[in-house]
Amino acid sequence: MATKEQSICEGINWISITDPSKAEMEALSTEYGLNQHIVKDCMEPEHLPKYEFVDDVHFLILRFYARDAGKRNTTIQDITNKIAIFFTDRFLISIHKSEISFVKVIREKFVSTGRCSTPIDVVARIIWNTLETYEDPANRLAEQIDFYENQIIRLQTHQDQLEALYLIKREASLSNKVLLLLREPINHVHPQEENQSAIQDVRDQHLKMLTLYNQVLEDVNNLMNMYMSFTAQKTNDVVKVLTIFSVFFMPLTFIVGIYGMNFDFMPELNKKWGYPAVLVIMIIITAIIYFWFKRKKWL
């Protein structure tokens, strides 16, 4: 366990703990009077965002974007990491699995300079930075959608594109779900009157992220529908060509079938004009079908 302690103001400290063991968390809960149930939730790495107020202690679980490139990104835990926060008017404790870059920034830029003077001000800043981690991924997904849209519009479609679009949709959907779950902790953070602008910034940031991911989801759904439409159009074009060929050959096959029955009494078989006459009839039928298709604008 790595612990960093920093004074927020006189008598109030921010304790940042990285990768604590179960025994260390039990000792911490005893020292600060933390409820065992919320401590247990804190130790679960897959826990979703939540808020609880137990024994005069506010407890939040946040999830920030931390995509693992080696995974398929099929679950919330594949693209996000957890940070748990306990706070009262007397202390602030943040717990996370590994070092978080924005926590260091908050400590140096806001706490050390006195711009965050209460635990709840620090919590508001942590939530804002948690939300901000979702912005670059949203922009990246939007750029990928633009790339595939250009390919599909140019009719350069292939099966890999559909899988790529599905992965974009899956990642955007998971991020959007986390953002919706983060609404509960955000709604329970109430800074002092003079710092109401901080929580308003958090709410504005939350709305911005939701808007970005809703737009990504809408765009990728539209693009998948467009892909399916173009694929169906290609199939229809192939079926159309095959249908045209079959229409041309059906009457010819019928005629050939008649003269392939080998009945004894077929007088035209013994005539010199029988063979050329049948060929002429087949040519005339083919021409009629061709001009009929032209008139209907099917060719």
Q: What is the pLDDT of residues 239-251, one digit of tens each?
A: 888 888 888 888 8
Residues 264 and 150 in one domain: no
Q: How many residues does the chain have?
A: 299
Task: Tell me what pLDDT residue 132 has.
Answer: 94
Residues 76 and 145 in one domain: yes
Report CA-CA distances (Å) from 192 to 23, 106, 117: 35, 19, 10
CATH code of 253's domain = 1.20.58.340
Residues 246 and 197 in one domain: no
Backbone angles phi, psi at 156, to 5 degrees: -95, 65
Residues 66 and 167 in one domain: yes
**pLDDT tier at 1 (50, 70, 90 boundaries)?**
low
Residues 251 and 217 in one domain: no
Digit-coded pLDDT (tens) for 89-131 = 888 999 988 888 888 888 888 888 877 878 888 899 999 999 9
Task: Tell me what pLDDT residue 73 has.
Answer: 67
- Structural domain range at position 288: 237-295
Above 90 in pLDDT, residue 206? Answer: yes
% of the chain exceeding 70 in pLDDT: 96
Domain boundary at 207, 232, 257, which?
Answer: 232
Structural domain tally of the chain?
2
Residues 177 and 29 in one domain: yes
| Residue 173: burial class (beta carbons within 10 Å; 0-12, 13-18, 19+) | middle
| Two structure tokens written together for 84 | 């748990």
Residues 85 and 225 in one domain: yes
Mean pLDDT of the chain, nearest integer: 86
Domain boundary at 206, 232, 258, which?
Answer: 232
Residues 84 and 218 in one domain: yes
Digit-coded pLDDT (tens) for 33-50 = 888 888 888 888 889 999
Task: Tell me what pLDDT residue 71 has.
Answer: 62
Strand partners, 86: 59, 93
The residue among 248 and 3 whose pLDDT is bigger is 248
Q: Lowest-confidence range among 61-65, 169-173, 274-278?
A: 274-278
Above 60 in pLDDT, residue 69? Answer: no
Digit-coded pLDDT (tens) for 5-30 = 777 777 788 888 888 888 888 888 88
Q: What's the rounded Cα separation, in Å, for the pair 80 and 270?
A: 86
CATH code of 96's domain = 3.30.460.20
Residues 228 and 242 in one domain: no
Nearest one of 177, 83, 161 to 125, comparing CA atoms: 83
Residues 157 and 286 in one domain: no
Above 70 in pLDDT, residue 192? Answer: no
Residues 259 and 150 in one domain: no
% of the chain exceeding 90 in pLDDT: 31
Q: What's the rounded Cα separation, in Å, for the pair 183 and 48?
A: 12
Domain boundary at 232, 256, 286, which?
Answer: 232
Pairing outcome for strands 12-18 and 91-96: parallel
| Two structure tokens written together for 272 | 């010199």
